[in-house]
Structure 1
Amino acid sequence: MKHLFFLFFFTQLVLGQEFTAVTKTPLVASSFIGIDSYQNSYFVKDRVLHKEGPDGSFVFNDLQLGNITSADIINPLKIVLFYEDTNTVVLLDNKLNAIERINFNTLPEFINVSTATNAGNNRLWIFNIDTQQLELYNYRDQRKVTVSQPFAGKLLAQSSNFNYCAVLTEQKVRIFNSYGSLLSEKASDGYQNLALQDTNLLVTKGSELFLITENSEAPIKLPVFEKAPKDLYLTKDFLYIYDGNNLHTFSIKNPK
């Protein structure tokens, strides 16, 4: 088969979860961000964030901030847009209007940040490059709390929700909770990207995709793409894979 596609011509059963191919939609984008709880799609094209769906069509751009490093849509009413080039976070409303900016360069205590995602309650999960530590930062009172011990190795990816944060380095993949407890730590084995849903992880390694759960002793290999997936987004009910040309949607049926 020449199509870049999971070999999901059948339903794949993994630890009681059924993954079934649903749609394949053409998408021209620099990167795919995800689908929010209202079924709006978010993607970046030419350094501009786009939102398309039932709520309408909206865009946000601030080219002077540089390239968009990441966008966190877990709360579609307060989207977290991060620009690593300028060490800045922009918070957006549901129409992609800027409602607040956090410039880590101008804080009373400078923080050199490589990732920033939503932790809820006016907080962000951030990775401090200078200390090599994961931190929770409250942008309302400009206070940070260290969550982790320093990491060895370069941070490759971060994925989070309000309760948990997963970080991938060259050596390890770790999951922390919002109280600072290390929930799991596993060898990365060459992983390149990850997507988190609760405490379940999907990780990529070249053209391979693996599922890591709290109870699995080893990563579970899922049916393979013909080449490396470009972007992942995981929710409780759906898995989205962007291959650079098409967005593939898979439904997830969890065991009762």
Structure 2
Amino acid sequence: MFFSTLAVGQSTMTLNIKETIALKADHIVAVDNFETIYYTVSNILYKKPKNQPSINYSNVQLGIPTTVNAYNPLKINMFFQDFNSVVILDNRLAEIYKIDFNQLQPYRFVTHVSTGYDNTLWVFNQEIQQLELYDYKTNKRRITTVPVQSNVLDLKSDYNYCWMLTENYLYQYTYFGSLISKIENKGYTSMALNNENLVLKSDASLFYKSKKSDAIIPLKTPKLLINQFLLTNETLYIYDSEKLHIYQLKIE
């Protein structure tokens, strides 16, 4: 059993190995509260409920998705950067909406997409170096933030906030587009989000940021390849390209 203890403000964090699952995937998209795993292999998105057969979706015309976001399982968004397009799927992985930014005005060159509330998506428009809250039903932007001056590395969101990681800073915005936090990026390249808590990756190390503090604290993990990582409630998932390692994360 792997065990670690960290100080997070006035709290204590413990991390314990729960389970390891053999899994072959190109990208682990999400693991929900019911242990349903969403993952991609080539251009196919799989939804695998625990102890049930998987279902899948693929789009031959658009090919391999750049990112998939399953924060809202009723409106899963698949982003295809090469085609500047997004496909929205329901919980049965049936296509319910398609957005082709090449065919819309004003033109947007989108590099990052994440889930918003209602019928919206957070999109980073490279043309104007701005983050937008985009309503895909009305083809209108509800919010536009101030332009950023460095490349965007990652984008994560829930219904209330959006976090944008750039080469220089980690930004946090409200769904009104107000900037409420700006933290210097000290080498972080990607992040995972759950319940407003973040796990960030730098090289082969993971770091934890509580929603209660701007402090970013090293998280001691076993020596394994961190190909991907996810956070679901108090569970940390680390994927090494062959196995999904599951750790219980507890803050006391």
Does TM, normalized by the shorter one, top 0.5? yes
2:90 to 67, 70, 93: 93
Equivalent residue, structure 2, for 1:232? 229
Partners of 2:225 and 2:163 lie apart in 1 by 21
CA offset digits 1:26-76 (Å, max 9, x no partner): 111111111123321011112211111146311111132132111111111
Determine if the alignment matches structure 1 residue 45 to structure 2 residue 38.
no
3-state SS, counterpart of residue 147 of structure 2: coil
User: 28-37 vs 225-234, which deviates more?
Assistant: 225-234
% identity of equivalent residues: 33
Equivalent residue, structure 2, for 1:30? 26
Equivalent residue, structure 2, for 1:149? 146
Equivalent residue, structure 1, for 2:206? 209
Counterpart amino acid of 1:21?
I
Equivalent residue, structure 2, for 1:5? none
Partners of 1:33 and 1:92 lie apart in 2 by 14
3-state SS, counterpart of residue 65 of structure 1: coil
* Contact 1:43-1:49 at 8 Å conserved across structures: yes
Partners of 1:114 and 1:166 lie apart in 2 by 15
Equivalent residue, structure 2, for 1:169? 166
Distance 1:189 1:227, change over 3 A: farther
Partners of 2:193 and 2:21 lie apart in 1 by 23
* Contact 1:134-1:147 at 8 Å conserved across structures: yes
3-state SS, counterpart of residue 54 of structure 2: strand
Counterpart amino acid of 1:31?
H
Counterpart amino acid of 1:59?
N
1:83 to 73, 80, 99: 80
CA offset digits 1:88-121 (Å, max 9, x no partner): 1111111211111111111132211111111120
Distance 1:213 1:183, change over 3 A: farther
Partners of 2:121 and 2:74 lie apart in 1 by 15
Determine if the alignment matches structure 1 residue 246 to structure 2 residue 243.
yes
2:125 to 123, 128, 132: 128
* Contact 2:69-2:114 at 8 Å conserved across structures: yes
User: Following TM superposition, by how much is the alpha carbon of 1:14 offset from its aligned partner in structure 2, in angstroms?
Assistant: 4.2
Partners of 2:217 and 2:28 lie apart in 1 by 25
Equivalent residue, structure 1, for 2:176? 179
Alignment TM-score, normalising by the size of structure 2: 0.91
* Contact 1:208-1:225 at 8 Å conserved across structures: no
Q: Structure 2: which 5+ runs fail to align?
A: none
Q: Structure 1: which 5+ runs fail to align?
A: 1-7
